[in-house]
Chains A and B, each alone.
Chain A
């Protein structure tokens, strides 16, 4: 037998043997190789090679590819046993599996292209998983668990859903248009819920939306695309398109173009889904269209209205039924005829679908909720938002709602029509002006909605949301400047613009919440808001909305000035803010939020006057007085359930401030008692609002303040316990949002505290390590924003602390001479750097008494070192 023939036969026999149970192979080989012992020997040798451990290291993971046949039914992964393969897609293989201990059936998704091994990626994988695990919605299949197999492949465990893809379900049950819309509304609810948790699906399509036999909608794979499209750094997370699994037919134009993907992509996908559920077709799919042509159509072609599409003969659905669906078949599945279906879709539904499918993300519905609302309005025969506000349209809706009555009066209307024509020309001119006004109003509303309401509020409190907010800001700023130039004398519009400038400034650089760290830009926005609001209030003192904006603008300018080291100006703005809040609270005495605003204002003023933990005017008595004012006010605020946590948060804040003041004044036990009261409130709030960045940060601060107080009281053990808890919290907040300037600064401050605790315990080397980390973080902060005065000040403090610790180490007799020499050099160098930095701050009058004291102590330590060689 020639070698080629031999091997052809070897392969055939090998393949056949592989199909058999190992125990049946010998008999099979006896039979198959009766006349060819050479073939038999080869096959047996090959089978032996496969059975043994010889193939183990054959394909080392230099390329991160799983052995595609490496998993078998019955195999265990963690606590799960694989029962059967239920599907395979671009992302991986899905198995039905059982959790051994509780016998629960789950879906286990093995991520084929998962990035392996790198601890950083695994860490992000698990972080993201925690976000997804918080999605609890009846229409979203829950993420139950996730892990990594022994071979390093990430896997996800999801709720097992036994259902049918939504398009097939609708057709199989011959759902009418109304029934389809009702089902679709549930999909919108689920998507909106996820968006509020900052999770974008990015791959919504019928096969990802199941309907169970009892008619419940379940969205599958939520957030998975994001989870897997992880780029090198966290920042690319929201902008990268999942290249591996992109389905062009369901991709939004911005996804195809590789532009940032936001919740708008999901709104677009919802539009596609609705299109398909209503018409049985996809807007850009045509017979014979190649994928690049399809991509081009997605980017360039305007979709035809659904009502037009259903009249046409339909191209075969890709991946669907082999024979082209006819209009009649599509309509039969909807219990209607082509003509009736077309009429049913014309108007509202056409408009709704096309609005969701706009090429420009900002022209689509702002949220899935808004899309859902329009569906509801349509079903209730009320005017849909998508159609704008034309008189003609609204009256037609009116006719729809009161069909009978209108029919009766139609005759009358006819006779009136003749007279109406005369006034039409005039009316049209007025209409044009109103159109401009309405357009402008809509612009502001759209902006306000984007910035202030839903999206921004929902995300501002979530870790990792800054990139999204940065995008919002860029777009909003262009928008606002244009509007501001256009609007001359239009108080309501001016009011909205002023308020929007404040919101914008907050995202740009509000030192008190997560921010983008651009203080100069923030200041400009606050000043624009201030000047607009001042004009409005001067013209109409009863304009409370404008006054509120005025108060806010003062408050934020005060923050910005304090942060920029201009303390007297900061106090001036703080007093103006307090005055405005007072006026507002007097005008509406029942308002809880107004009272709270006044209390907050007192606290902020007190901080500027004499909070030892912040740059201050060294007026301790003044500060305590302001804090007491705040405390009194908070005790009279009625506690309704809704606002309770806000009040409690403020209460904790005041306790903390008073505790710090007492502690600094030497009344340590009283101070610690107050601080512990604050900590208890903080802990309660975190229990209730676990995911909130603010609540977690507050808790961390409470620990840190307590640590400092215990330290001052000489209780090193207690101090260490609180400091550890604080730093751990700061660390987790920072890793959740690595670009957030505040969380970097917080962590640096926590490490400064930790250094003190360790130094007090004599653990000098560990203490120095904390300082190194802290100054490193502060330098990082200053490299992106050099004017950050608190960061400069804290860096100077860190350097002086380091100098002191080095000086102590340099005189430690246990150390080797070389080591001591090294510490001497560093003590001198750190002192010089710290002193230079503090001096440059003091030239601007930004040096507090605490800072001077610190400088003195560091100088003394250095002196001791030099006297003691």
Chain B
């Protein structure tokens, strides 16, 4: 994936600094591409069945982008929020591709690319369901959904999540509990 021109990144970051959350969407392709590349590289080194270390990936992507001058350090928290979303997207895209291939239908030719070792079949099913549930949760409580994205997919700390989402740590904790309860119920068949 081609990187967006630097001025786009700069503009996106300016918007972010002014609190414009839509700017995250401008940054997203850049971060997604970088994380995907790193994930592929890391998996190439690991034996199959090992899982990704999202924190290491996110940090590596971050430093790489800082090196290229695309991200400034004071945007750390925002960057991590974008990364979390990107990690979610990477995993979900992959899970969908995998599930589609497994179901063998739909005629959608989704190649199982070199990230194939990323998820087991059971995990792929779960991730897709979790993603759908998270989207529904966002309609009920956006903050709770974002908190899960940061804490689970992005591997952020409570502090980092609070900073990224502009909430207090106590609030993040509350949203996390709510999200757990909500998702637990949503993903439980027959409830």
Contacts and interface: CB of A to CB of B under 8 A. Distances in A.
Chain B contact residues, majority secondary structure: helix
A49 B180 CA distance: 8
Interface string A59-83: 1111111001100000000000000
B40 interface: no
A292 B71 CA distance: 10
A291 interface: yes
30 contacts: A7-B141, A11-B144, A11-B178, A14-B178, A14-B181, A15-B174, A18-B174, A18-B177, A45-B191, A47-B181, A49-B191, A50-B180, A54-B187, A54-B191, A55-B183, A55-B184, A58-B130, A58-B187, A62-B51, A62-B91, A62-B119, A65-B155, A68-B157, A88-B158, A113-B155, A115-B53, A232-B45, A243-B56, A290-B73, A291-B73
Interface in A11-70: 11, 14-15, 18, 45-47, 49-50, 52, 54-55, 57-65, 68-69
B176 A68 contact: yes
Contacts of B181: 14, 46-47, 49-50, 55
Given A49-B181, A58-B187, A68-B176, A243 B45 contact: no
Contact of B152 (A14, A54, A65, A113): A65
A766 interface: no
Chain A contact residues, majority secondary structure: loop
Contacts of A55: 180-181, 183-184
A259 to B, nearest CB: 14
A68 B50 contact: no
Nearest to A118: B50
Contact of B52 (A49, A62, A68): A62
A334 interface: no
B155 A46 contact: no
B59 to A, nearest CB: 5
Pick the most buried of B141, B176, B183, B184: most chain A CB atoms within 10 A of its CB.
B184
Contact of A63 (B45, B46, B50, B52): B52
Contacts of B158: 68, 88
B89 interface: no
Contacts, number: 115
A54 B185 CA distance: 7
Contacts of A58: 130, 180, 183-184, 187
A721 interface: no
B99 interface: no
10 closest A-B pairs by beta carbon, nearest first, are: A291-B73, A55-B184, A54-B184, A49-B185, A46-B181, A50-B181, A49-B184, A63-B54, A65-B155, A292-B73
A463 B60 CA distance: 30
Interface in B161-191: 173-174, 176-178, 180-185, 187-188, 191
A388 B73 CA distance: 40
Contacts of A291: 73-74, 76
B63 interface: yes
Interface of A: 7, 11, 14-15, 18, 45-47, 49-50, 52, 54-55, 57-65, 68-69, 88, 90, 112-113, 115-118, 232, 243-244, 290-292, 295
A399 B59 CA distance: 55
Contacts of A112: 157
Given A49-B188, A62-B123, A118-B50, 13 more contacts: A18-B174, A46-B178, A49-B181, A62-B52, A62-B118, A63-B53, A65-B155, A68-B157, A68-B158, A88-B159, A244-B59, A292-B72, A292-B74
A443 B87 CA distance: 52
B55 interface: yes
Contacts of A59: 152
Given A7-B141, A49-B188, A295-B73, A69 B177 contact: yes
A11 B141 contact: yes
**Interface extent on B, as a size class?**
35 or more
Contact of A7 (B45, B118, B127, B140): B140
Contact of A61 (B51, B55, B76): B51
Interface string B118-154: 1100010011001000000000110010000001110
Contacts of B141: 7, 11
Contacts of B184: 49-50, 52, 54-55, 58
A481 B54 CA distance: 46
A52 B118 CA distance: 30
A54 B177 CA distance: 13
A248 to B, nearest CB: 8
A59 B187 CA distance: 11
Contacts of A60: 123, 126
A69 B55 contact: no
Contacts of B151: 65, 68
A301 to B, nearest CB: 17
A455 to B, nearest CB: 30
Contacts of B46: 232
A62 B122 CA distance: 11
Given A58-B180, A243-B63, A117 B187 contact: no
A115 B178 CA distance: 27
A653 to B, nearest CB: 43
A63 B51 contact: yes
Contacts of B45: 232
A69 B173 contact: yes
A63 B155 contact: yes
Nearest to A113: B55
A90 B80 CA distance: 14
B155 A64 contact: yes
B59 A243 contact: yes
A408 B116 CA distance: 87
B87 A63 contact: yes
B43 to A, nearest CB: 12
A232 B74 CA distance: 29
Interface string B58-100: 0110010010000011101000000000010001000000000
Nearest to A56: B184
Nearest to B143: A11
Nearest to A116: B51
Contacts of B177: 14-15, 18, 50, 69
Contacts of A11: 141, 144, 178
Pick the most buried of A47, A49, A232: most chain B CB atoms within 10 A of its CB.
A49
A112 B184 CA distance: 23
A64 B140 contact: no
Nearest to B88: A63
A52 B185 CA distance: 10
A53 to B, nearest CB: 9
Given A112-B157, A232-B45, A64 B51 contact: yes
Contacts of B152: 59, 63, 65
Contacts of B73: 290-292, 295
Contacts of A47: 181
A15 B178 contact: yes
A117 B74 contact: no
A46 B55 contact: no
A46 B186 CA distance: 10
A59 B53 CA distance: 15
A90 B152 CA distance: 17
Interface in B9-53: 45-46, 50-53
Given A68-B157, A243-B59, A290-B72, A62 B127 contact: yes
A32 B29 CA distance: 45
Contacts of B118: 62
Contacts of B76: 291
Nearest to A59: B152
Given A15-B174, A292-B73, A65 B140 contact: no
Given A59-B152, A69-B177, A64 B185 contact: no
B12 to A, nearest CB: 17
Contacts of B51: 61-64, 116-117
A54 B133 CA distance: 15
A292 B51 CA distance: 32
A54 B59 CA distance: 32
Nearest to A112: B157
B176 A69 contact: yes
